Structure 1
């Protein structure tokens, strides 16, 4: 028995020795399994599935795997993304197309990132590398066996799309720096071509820049802009680089001179409206090819520029592809650079570089297929009052599809009837300019949203005044109608009017329809005393107001004209007169009312400035009470309520349009 055991033992010993002598396999030499397993942590899982150059600064796991299985030098490829590695992988035609092209896209991405930071005086080479990144990602997306829709749930496609979008962003911003003059020359022409190295590029412009600008002054990546003061950044995932095109189309004050020598200045005439000068655009690099080989051999591409508010998808190579879009960056950049916060205060007190005429801002180039929301801010304010309201309305696809936003910016020191008449004039002129025959959807179904004094102006916009305000003017001791004589007609547009045509709905937010006690006491009276009205007001109102002394000096005349704070006083005769004007029965209206404290009788509540008894309106379709201070329009509850009102308005508007011959249309984005 012992002899048998010894024989068995020696036989195994000989086998093991032979295995060692021959080099052996790992299983034998190490006496352990060839594959080990352990639990993966959540961080490791995320890194494996989603980690890549853009997220982790390292090649993705699938690209590293491709390098390994093809026998390339893993460390050389991963560390340097050498062109030799790229060329070797390019030659491996027997490798699965999706695997090879996606790995090549990331290797080109690494190469482009490397030379962008290390190679000086070689921006052309850098831009060409970014184009190669975009080209190989494009080949993966549209020239492999499966369509983008078939890979919709795959993380790899999301990675490749992100590499493409980032490469397009880098390509276009670098092209803008290298070829700014060429782009300026060709931006207005379809299919205009220019060269970069061995590439021929054509610009396909599908987005109109604001105020007829031909090319941007700056082109900024939207994802590189961080904002404070905005509660959310709203965008749409898809194909393309999200950019902000900054133009030179800043509005100029209507009373600016024309630059003539001192003493010879002539007033310049400017439109009282302008489009926001920082629109969001989406850029796509398109490659016209029928096969992947044709695509990878070509050196021609198309730079397609789109408006994400107008288009939400493209047709590329037989595929319906969502178009990326950012709806916040341009708006946020405009407000950040506007200087409204200081200008509105200077305007209130009549200081230099303040605003003295209303101006209308269109938040996007005029779209005849979208109805218009007109927003009017309150005292000592500006379009900044709507910073989160406008932004979050644009975040709602249904509202974005139906409406375009216009914001009124007006001097809040002016008498309310003067501001009302001027705003009417500006709004009417803008609508006539864009739609002279009132044939488009934009001229019908307007919605007004007014906060505080802006709500008072909105109410006048939808009210009828025949002799009521003339009676007020005749009884107000500050006004001398006898001095008007033949110029009496100067005041008629201020005191007699009909509801503004086309307005269907109004939202009053913290509006002092019957004035406020604060305006007539203490701090309110002190601030009112500091207000100085602009001399331009005299051209319309001066003759109606007597001087306190014998002198007829302009400054003395202006002292007698009631300013905006005077007319917010609950005891002011003008407020009492306007509170009795009838609102058109063709207009639906809603109230959003703030109260500082949740407890206590509603009738006795206020928001710190406006009491409930002044903000409440009988006949409103809805009244929303929100616990807040006076700036209630910026609260989440208020924005939710405005969104609810607008969504209901859409349903009612289209139901009415379906049953009548009224103007109809479609405002949803279109394909290309």
Structure 2
């Protein structure tokens, strides 16, 4: 027991940088922000001015709806745009007091919609004028009230209309909609928000499987705005995974979105499925590697596959993924795919499963019209997996493992075929960029140290992931290289065994070159600039280096993927890649 506790206490020296992202839902505040400004908790100066000019201050001591009608109907010199703004202001305050909030919010949205979209409206100011800005803020505040009060699966008193692609967006699987402004996040350095028209919200549900979205939990960024057109009134939902703008009477206006709220809720859902230690102790939850998407497959974007490391989870990429989603240029051209795998089995077992998962999603991506190109980023042990995706082993790994040639192992035809798939693989095609972060290409002595020996007690037998190794050890022990026979007989190697510098399979893999046409980068952690040879404190400099890769040395320990300098370097790499790509045929709105 003491040994186990000791392992847990100091395991952060070895694991791939566990991260925690929290998301707590709550009530949305009374106002809504636009360009950092919120609707005030009192009537605007414009509204007081209108009440004075129309001499109805005394009449407006009554309830908000009657006062708003008086503002619209009382004769006087106040122009229509200003009346609409004052009436909306009164209705918004009334809705906040809880007296007929839906009807008051709906009337408010109607008035502000006319201010923002009606042609030739008398008295309307320019887009930068304070009154026009107030109209935008009031419109969004009243729309947010409707989103809060009218369930998305109801049609009264206003219907919801989903302007989403049914082939890409899991509309039928949405279980609830929450306001992004009511989501409180933890563990993220920045909040990626586009202020603008409409309400930033999150659609939450469980995808049951569709051509462009595999079965998984989801929390997707959406925009909800009040719309009045020839078909009537509605709360119109659009996919907010990319930056969008629309035409108004004030000119082109951004649609509001909050990618951080959606990402934080997604990360919390993923972490419920598999947390870092679950990746070691829960084989029943992770029999095979999978990929988790933050949005349905988008054929117009390049998949950016992020592979976490030992005893970690997709949440390890929290701050990098959050910044990619919030950067208009990157979010418009890249789509994050998060590797999710059980980190106990040996590297080749996870490489086999990860390659199959990538292949399945890439086929869907290409069938939807997407370019087959991929970018892979791996941290720690995930970097080794990333490298194995872009190498052709020939016979090197087979010969390092087996004493007999393919076809002569003496096992069942099924196991023979599986062994050849695992050890005689081909590189995943169309990966054009690979980035290694604090990656132990040459292994790490930590994999043979005291902590690693204690952690081995927490790692479930890899035979539960692929029974192949134990079956070969039991049925055909002479087919295994003598140096590996004891490990195979004990149930096969686990991931720590295969990270040892003395493991013959790891040494053979170290000598495999990356296939031509792949640009490789090594982001190398240096914990002590005076002694760079120590590397990140877990993986020495020599082990992190890869021949031919472009190097970026970053001050930091083995949790390097979370460093701001690492995030900045990754963004530069992705932007530089875009600069080399042919331009897209047309703008995306």
Q: How does 1:7-26 map to 2 (within 5 A)?
A: none
- Contact kept? 1:421, 1:494, Cα under 8 Å: yes
Summarize the Cα distance change of 1:481–1:609 in structure 2 as closer, same or farther, 3 Å threshold: farther
Are 1:669 and 2:588 matched, yes or no? yes
Q: What SS does structure 2 have at the residue aligned with 1:73?
A: coil
Alignment match of 1:277 (pick from 209, 218, 224): 218
Residue 533 of structure 1 deviates from its aligned partner by 2.4
Deviation string, structure 1 residues 502-539 (Cα, Å, up to 9, x no partner): 11001111100010001012111221243212554344
Instruction: Give the match for residue 366 of structure 1.
Output: 297
Are 1:96 and 2:79 matched, yes or no? yes
Q: TM-score, normalised by structure 2?
A: 0.84
- Contact kept? 1:211, 1:275, Cα under 8 Å: no
Residue 166 of structure 1 deviates from its aligned partner by 1.7
Are 1:217 and 2:175 matched, yes or no? yes
Deviation string, structure 1 residues 546-578 (Cα, Å, up to 9, x no partner): 3999xxxxxx97733010011111111121111
Instruction: Give the match for residue 258 of structure 2.
Output: 326
Alignment match of 1:203 (pick from 161, 170, 177): 161
Are 1:506 and 2:434 matched, yes or no? yes
Q: TM-score, normalised by structure 1?
A: 0.74
Q: How does 1:43-442 map to 2 (within 5 A)?
A: 55-73=39-57, 77=60, 81-92=63-74, 94-114=77-97, 116=98, 119=99, 125-143=100-118, 145=120, 151-176=126-151, 180=153, 182=154, 194-196=155-157, 201=159, 203-206=161-164, 208=166, 212-249=170-207, 273-274=214-215, 277-288=218-229, 300-310=232-242, 312-316=244-248, 319-340=251-272, 343-349=275-281, 351=282, 354-436=285-367, 440-442=369-371
Mark the runs of 5 or more structure 1 residues left unpaired by the alignment.
1-49, 120-124, 183-193, 252-269, 290-298, 550-555, 659-663
Instruction: Give the match for residue 23 of structure 2.
Output: none
Q: What SS does structure 2 have at the residue aligned with 1:571?
A: coil
Distance 1:216 1:168 in 2: 20
- Contact kept? 1:210, 1:247, Cα under 8 Å: no
How many residue pairs end up in the alignment? 542
Residue 339 of structure 1 deviates from its aligned partner by 3.0
Distance 1:429 1:651 in 2: 28
- Contact kept? 1:378, 1:451, Cα under 8 Å: yes
Residue 388 of structure 1 deviates from its aligned partner by 0.5
- Contact kept? 1:340, 1:383, Cα under 8 Å: no
Summarize the Cα distance change of 1:340–1:565 in structure 2 as closer, same or farther, 3 Å threshold: farther
Residue 448 of structure 1 deviates from its aligned partner by 0.3
Instruction: Give the match for residue 266 of structure 1.
Output: none
Summarize the Cα distance change of 1:376–1:504 in structure 2 as closer, same or farther, 3 Å threshold: same
Question: 1 or 2 for the larger relative contact order (CA 8 Å, sep ≥6)?
Answer: 2
Instruction: Give the superposed CA RMSD.
Output: 3.2
Residue 146 of structure 1 deviates from its aligned partner by 6.3
Deviation string, structure 1 residues 297-351 (Cα, Å, up to 9, x no partner): xx931322101224601245795332111111111012124335963313313x4
Structure possessing the higher radius of gyration over alpha carbons: 1
Summarize the Cα distance change of 1:87–1:418 in structure 2 as closer, same or farther, 3 Å threshold: same
- Contact kept? 2:68, 2:88, Cα under 8 Å: no
Mark the runs of 5 or more structure 2 residues left unpaired by the alignment.
1-33, 478-486
Summarize the Cα distance change of 1:90–1:150 in structure 2 as closer, same or farther, 3 Å threshold: closer
